[in-house]
Amino acid sequence: MTEKVIIFDTSLRDGEQALQASLSVKEKLQIAMALERMKIDVIEVGFPISSPGDFESVRTISNHIKSSQICSLARCVDKDIDVAAEAMSVLDNFRIHIFLGTSNLHIQSKLRKSFDEIISMAVHSIKRAKRYTNNIEFSCEDAGRTSIDNLCRIVEKAISSGATTINIPDTVGYTTPNQFSNIISSLYQKVPNIDQSIISVHCHDDLGMAVANSISAISAGARQVEGTINGIGERAGNAALEEIIMAIKARKDLLNVHTTIENKEIYRTSKIISQLCNIPIPSNKAIVGSNAFAHSSGIHQDGVLKNRKNYEIISPKTIGLKEVALNLTSRSGRAAVKHRMQMMGYKDSEYDINELYVSFLKLADKKGQVFDYDLEALAFINNKQEDPEHFRLEYFNVQSSSTGLATSSVTLICGKLIITKSATTSNGPIDSVYQSLNKISGYSIILQKFQLFAKGKGKDALGQVDILVEYQHRKFHGVGLATDIIESSVKAMVNVFNNIWRANQVMLKLQKNIL
């Protein structure tokens, strides 16, 4: 019987903190539900002390996730630990994850304490967390650059104080697989109470070795691996969990361990996180990239046709990737659209079929045939805003020429009001329509980034506009999708307006509660 490796996902904590714009509570919940369906063992859902929004997200997710274990991060600070426990208090069983720098560099230049003081802080914080739960994880931040003697000392003290999981992070992706494996082996050899805790690893990809380091740690005895879907995270990112999971499955003969992950949910979960986090998946990305199971060479194509195992070490079906022709038109009914979404692996609760079908009919009338990527985009971009929206597009008109001015008129439904504004500029139609929109919203925003992507191929491709704006020293992301790029641009800005409006409502609610 092989031993189980616990899969710990930190996409909503380490991954989310590296995004250009924060996710909404609804978006975080959608990701958490996808991770739960994938049967992730532990989901680190946030750092509650960091902001009211993060606290609200942790509490909301704690109310909805039933099978995966929920975990929150805290520094070795009493208030951090108390707030983390409060955010998860609706749960009978939750994990508090405490971290503290242990390398000489962190101790001397960041914490400015002695190592004995660091040990005391760790012991105190673990005992503080035990007031709320017996499920405590302690992380030795920058363990990869911590002397093995100091690492063994603090690990032994943390375990004797009540830590049930000890995490050994390669925080800056500095170690090589052989070095990292030796660190884990040394802990098992030198820490007398090591058998009383699960050893975990958390590797970063600064030198491109996060997955390799994680696999080497498993070989040395680690039984929990931390990472993110698609490898998102600080700097070059975290270890990509989908790669680790499939490496364990494909090389079970070598590693002699297993996971209880639902592998067929990997591709769907990867796509959802990519869309909601606005981080495209590179085509050559292992496991989930568009080229991961593509074959261009004539020799490879011939070999695959004769036996797919000639050039595929895992089957695309293993991760839930299905290549099925789709022929949906405006004559297709709601049941056909729902069936297609089910065939692609999406659960009914993950999208609104009524909203999707309305958007589908509009798109089908414009482009004739609707494909899988169209349905995914409509389900997870156009319909991802929370309901009801405060700002809704009613009408827009733009006139522009290469030698003259651009003039626009836009009508928005703003709550119970209908407002129309116009603008004329010499900077083109999109600038003109954005000026009209800004007059309506009254928000003082600065457009920092504007990107246009083609979703699909040929004349029927959808235009996806991604924008990043700054409003009151915070960044907000907006996405719009349409066959017309000006319409996409308008939808992206309206998306931003709704995100700002919801953020303002949260702040007003918090201020009211405080007062």
In the CATH scheme, what is the homologous superfamily, with its name and number, of domain 391-514? Alpha-isopropylmalate synthase LeuA, regulatory domain (3.30.160.270)
- Alpha-carbon distance of 508 to 504, in angstroms, equals 6
Q: Which residues contact 473 (CB under 8 A, 6 or more apart)?
A: none
Q: Which residues contact 195 (CB under 8 A, 6 or more apart)?
A: none
Retrieve residue 83's tokens: 């707030």
Strand partners, 425: 406
Angle at which helix 52-64 crosses helix 78-87, to 10 degrees, equals: 40
E-strand ranges in 299-436 read: 391-399, 406-414, 417-425
Task: Give the three-class secondary structure for 511.
Answer: helix
Question: Is the bond leading into 388 cis (omega within 30 degrees of zero)?
Answer: yes
pLDDT at 168: 98
pLDDT in tens, the chain (515 residues): 799 999 999 999 999 988 888 899 999 999 999 999 999 999 999 999 999 999 999 999 999 999 999 999 999 999 999 999 999 999 999 999 999 999 999 999 988 999 999 999 999 999 999 999 999 999 999 999 999 999 999 999 999 999 999 999 999 999 999 999 999 999 999 999 999 999 999 999 999 999 999 999 999 999 999 999 999 999 999 999 999 999 999 999 999 999 999 999 999 999 999 989 989 999 899 999 988 877 645 465 567 567 778 878 898 899 998 654 445 777 777 777 887 788 777 888 888 888 888 888 888 887 676 766 567 768 775 555 455 789 999 999 999 887 788 999 999 999 999 999 999 998 899 999 999 999 999 999 999 999 998 877 766 678 899 999 999 888 888 889 888 899 999 999 999 999 888 878 866 765 665 55
Domain residue spans in the chain? 3-277, 334-382, 391-514
122 vs 100, 288, 429, CA distance in Å?
A: 7, 39, 58
pLDDT at 105: 94
Query: Looking at the domain 3-277, which fold is it?
Result: TIM Barrel (3.20.20)
pTM over cut 0.85 = no
121 vs 79, 117, 161, 311, 503, CA distance in Å?
A: 14, 6, 11, 53, 36
pLDDT at 296: 47
Q: Which of 191, 248, 238, 183 is nearest to 215 (CA)?
A: 248
Q: Which of 353, 279, 242 is nearest to 18 (CA)?
A: 279
Backbone angles phi, psi at 352, to 5 degrees: -100, 110
413 vs 183, 418, 481, CA distance in Å?
A: 60, 5, 19
pLDDT at 325: 42
Alpha helices in 403-484 (DSSP H): 429-441
